[in-house]
Amino acid sequence: MAHEQLSDSNRLVIEKRLGYCWVILPANIAAQDYSRIEDEVVKHTTGKEDRVVFDLANVRALYSSGIGVLIRFQKRIAKGGGVIALVNVSPKIADLMISFNLDKIFPLYNTDIEFEISQEELWNKRCSESKADFLFIAQVERNIYRISLSGEMVSSQDLPACRKFLPDPKIPMFILDLTALSAMDSAGAGMFMHMLHRIDGQGGKCRAFGAIKAVKQVLQFLGAEQYLTFYETEKEALAGLFAT
């Protein structure tokens, strides 16, 4: 069993259970803690046919930064032919996941028992075979907009969530997680730029991290760097935003 102390009262616990890498998340997680959690879980997976469970029994609220971590892991595990599931999901968090259509890519289980019963079904189904549509998730976390974009931001996808996004003018900083954004065509790039224009028009500042080379090149060609700064990692993008 491996432990990493995040604070005096919260622990990340990673253990082997039922043949899975079982990740018990702490009750309270600050935005900057997610990168530490991600690094620790990566140490316990191989990238090939991994079986990973995120146990949310202690989690009181799940924000965009946390959802971004889950989406990145789903992409990594799916690529390696593995499976991922969320267990002990509260009704509140389940409603949140469903509202963002995340139940289509993450099997959700209310209890450990429910998950145990469905193990064989889950493995046979190979949730990694599910192809994620474009997902746009925006939430305010500690007076910062955390926005996660994943999948393919192309004309054939359903993009209204991004089109309809109206930022709160009272929130000055926007952190865009592009790690799981696998493609962007001219329609998607145009919509992305329109979002940046709206944010800039309200005085907001944007930082983006994790963009693959192809996406970054498209956005740079369109002059996105007038409105945002690119960073390689989440840690770099968050630098200086929180009091130590």
Q: For the chain, which residues make up each domain, given as ranges?
A: 2-129, 135-238
Give me the phi and psi of 176, to 5 degrees please.
-105, 120
CATH superfamily of 2-129: STAS domain (3.30.750.24)
Indicate the average pLDDT of the chain. Answer: 84
pTM exceeds 0.85: no
pLDDT tens digit sequence for 207-235:
999 999 999 999 999 999 999 999 999 88
* DSSP assignment letter at 98: H
Q: Fold identical between 2-129 and 135-238?
A: yes
**Are the C-beta atoms of residues 242 and 32 closer than 8 Å to each other?**
yes
Multiple choice CATH, 135-238, 3.40.50.720, 3.30.1230.10, 3.30.750.24, 3.40.50.2300:
3.30.750.24
144's tokens = 């910062």
Spatial separation of the C-alpha atoms in residues 129 and 116, rounded to whole Å = 21
Q: Given its phi and psi angles, is residue 231 left (phi above 0), alpha (psi -120 to 50 degrees) or beta?
A: beta
Question: Which pLDDT belongs to residue 244?
Answer: 46
